[in-house]
């Protein structure tokens, strides 16, 4: 499990929100010997990272990674994020990718995360009943400490969740926990509806449009909210000079059939609100990292952006320059 700086209860709730969007595995023919020996250049922007992800998929297949693990590993957030955390100097560098991936997959924390996601997905598909909860507890006991399960059970037993999926239940409890923990910290960010409406509202209020790309399962987003966006001076500047919206890139709410489309950036089918939000982030910022603050002009062109940074003075300087 990830060692998150939040309550034990929130740890297990977040696991369900970290469950990846998995792309279907494709049948391809490639030369494993050449692929495993090649040196790969890892660069931005998007098209290079998409090519990198496909290369990773082929290498993992060549290395004999079990099919059930591939479905977890090949989520973009899992494999790309894990790789760049393990090898922070990899961007804009040449890497012998086959050996690097083999090293990454051999790490105990990688195997622990795969196990956690696999069990979480199994439980998430179950609907709540007394019998299913006994089975769910047995499964979750392999990845969660006893005190977390006891606290979770106390919440479930006092609510009418009968028949609901555990994915829905834990998303509900996590949302309530976040609201209680963050309080007014996130209230400076309005709920995003559409880019056109946000631009029109910013123009009407004579403010600069600011979009905060966040994620329910992002530890760094929570740190930024707790340590930076809770600061009085930061809040005053955001409220006075900017029209600020928050967008969650891992929102699993399904889109209706007439809202679904194929992304012109990733060429993938966009089927959930989170995937649509990811697509918007690529459109305005050419980035998929979170947290990310993006400021846009009235034509939706990016003026500036800022990612994870807990230095309050640096944030104040950044905002002052854009007022």
pLDDT single digits (tens) 265-298: 878 899 988 899 999 999 998 888 888 999 999 9
Cβ contacts of residue 62 below 8 Å, gap of 6+?
Answer: 30, 32, 35, 36, 98
SS3 231: coil
Gap between the Cα atoms of 280 and 247, Å rounded = 10
Q: Answer whether residue 184 shows pLDDT above 80.
A: no
Q: Tell me which of 19 and 269 has the higher pLDDT.
A: 269
Domain ranges of the chain: 1-180, 187-322
234's enclosing H/E stretch is helix 232-241
pLDDT digits (tens, 9 = 90+) for 65-77: 887 777 777 764 5
pTM: 0.50
Which of 247, 81, 315 has the alpha carbon at shortest distance from 304?
A: 315
N-terminal to C-terminal alpha carbon distance within the chain: 41
The pLDDT of residue 49? 63
DSSP string covering 244-301 = EEEEETT--PBPPTTT-EE-TTT--EE-BHHHHHHHHHHHHHS---SSEEEEE-TTS-
Cβ contacts of residue 3 below 8 Å, gap of 6+?
Answer: none
Q: What is the dihedral of CA 293, 295, 300, 303, to 10 degrees?
A: -120
- The answer to whether the CB of 304 falls within 8 A of the CB of 285 is no
Q: Identify the CATH assignment for 187-322 out of 3.90.25.10, 3.40.30.10, 3.10.20.600, 3.65.10.10.
A: 3.40.30.10
The pLDDT of residue 171? 76
- The answer to whether the CB of 63 falls within 8 A of the CB of 98 is yes
Cβ contacts of residue 280 below 8 Å, gap of 6+?
Answer: 195, 247
- The answer to whether the CB of 116 falls within 8 A of the CB of 1 is yes
- State the pLDDT confidence band at 181, using cuts at 50, 70 and 90: low
Q: Answer whether residue 306 shows pLDDT above 90.
A: yes
- State the pLDDT confidence band at 313, using cuts at 50, 70 and 90: very high
User: How far, in Å, are 131, 199, 214, 308 from residue 282 at the CA level?
Assistant: 44, 17, 14, 17
The pLDDT of residue 156? 84
The pLDDT of residue 187? 67
Pairing, β 242-248 against β 190-191: parallel
The pLDDT of residue 316? 93
- State the pLDDT confidence band at 159, using cuts at 50, 70 and 90: confident
């Amino acid at each position: 499990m990830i060692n998150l700086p939040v309550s034990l209860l929130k740890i297990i709730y977040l696991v369900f929100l970290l469950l990846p969007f998995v792309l279907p595995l494709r049948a391809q023919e490639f030369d494993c010997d050449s692929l495993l020996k090649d040196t790969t250049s890892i660069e931005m922007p998007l098209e290079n990272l998409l090519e990198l992800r496909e290369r990773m998929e082929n290498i993992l297949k060549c290395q004999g990674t079990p099919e059930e693990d591939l479905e977890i590993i090949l989520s973009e957030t899992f494999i790309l994020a894990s790789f760049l955390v393990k090898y922070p100097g990899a961007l804009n560098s040449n890497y012998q990718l086959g050996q690097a991936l083999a090293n990454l997959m051999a790490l105990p924390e990688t195997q622990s995360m795969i196990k956690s996601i696999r069990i979480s997905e199994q439980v998430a598909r179950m609907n709540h009943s007394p019998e299913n909860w006994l089975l769910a507890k047995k499964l979750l006991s392999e990845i969660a400490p006893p005190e977390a399960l006891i606290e979770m059970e106390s919440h479930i037993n006092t609510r009418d969740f009968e028949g609901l999926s555990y994915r829905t239940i834990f998303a509900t409890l996590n949302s309530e926990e976040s609201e209680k923990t963050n309080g007014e910290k996130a209230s400076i960010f309005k709920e995003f509806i559409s880019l056109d409406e946000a631009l029109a509202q910013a123009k009407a209020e004579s403010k600069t449009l600011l979009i905060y790309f966040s994620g329910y399962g992002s530890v760094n987003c929570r740190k930024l909210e707790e340590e930076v966006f809770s600061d009085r001076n930061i809040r005053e500047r955001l409220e006075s000079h900017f029209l600020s919206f928050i967008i969650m890139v891992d929102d699993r709410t399904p889109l209706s059939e007439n809202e679904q489309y194929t992304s012109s950036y990733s060429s993938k089918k966009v089927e959930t609100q989170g995937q649509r939000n990811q697509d918007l982030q690529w459109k305005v910022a050419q980035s998929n990292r979170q947290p990310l603050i993006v400021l846009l002009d009235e034509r939706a062109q990016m003026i500036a952006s800022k990612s994870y940074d807990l230095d309050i003075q640096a944030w104040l300087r950044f905002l002052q320059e854009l007022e």
